[in-house]
Amino acid sequence: MPPRALSPSGLFLIDKAEGPSSFAAVAEVRRRTRARTGHAGTLDPFATGLLLVLSGAATRLASCFVGLDKRYLTTVDLTALTGTGDREGEIVERVEAPSEVELEHRLEALRGKVELPIPAASAVKIGGERAYRLHRRGVVVEMPLRRSRVDSLEVISYSDGIARLDLRVSSGTYVRAIAAALGGHCATLRRTEVGPFRVEEADPDRLISAEDALARLAVGQGGRQKP
């Protein structure tokens, strides 16, 4: 197979729909452009929202776009815990939903720097194998902790044990882990921002040049680009 083309080169902002994997979304861009294509961070199939897809020669700049802070909107069901921390896992325990006061106590404990277990259905490798593959086979393993930063964690609404939350977090933060720590599971998840890029800008037909994309990173970091 001949090497993929180095053009068109730049950044596509894609609003991923619920259902397809991030890799399927990237493959669709590759099919349209016939160029080398890569992503700067995935979303679970049940999640929606912003994907940064690099095209052509711009794929060599992936390290500049990986590791950016993220913003999410999520709905957390605080009446049940699941094995995966999201709605795709089996319910392992039914619980009584917290009061609004108790919910705020739980939220406060999760703001700032936190250490939470990586979800069992994640792509992290355990003993050389992806955790989600072990989970699907019913293999129970002790998941490692991951340190992350929660810059804001605010309630949009709360009713009948269902909390709608707005989060700003560091890269690598698992929203499913936050949902589990709150005593429930993630029912919906939408990524609305990645660094300076917003989902409202998403357009599969619009290619942002590498120069413009890097300039936006520099502005977002006070004039300092990531190395």
Pick the closest to residue 61 from 212, 180, 222, 220 (CA basis): 212
Q: 3-state class of 44 per DSSP?
A: coil
Please name the residue that has the structure tokens 């502005």.
219
Q: Are 145 and 36 in contact (CB under 8 A)?
A: no
Outline where DSSP puts E strands in 99-208. Answer: 112-117, 125-126, 129-130, 145-159, 162-169, 185-194, 197-198, 207-208
Stretch (H or E) spanning 179: helix 175-182
Catalytic residues: 44
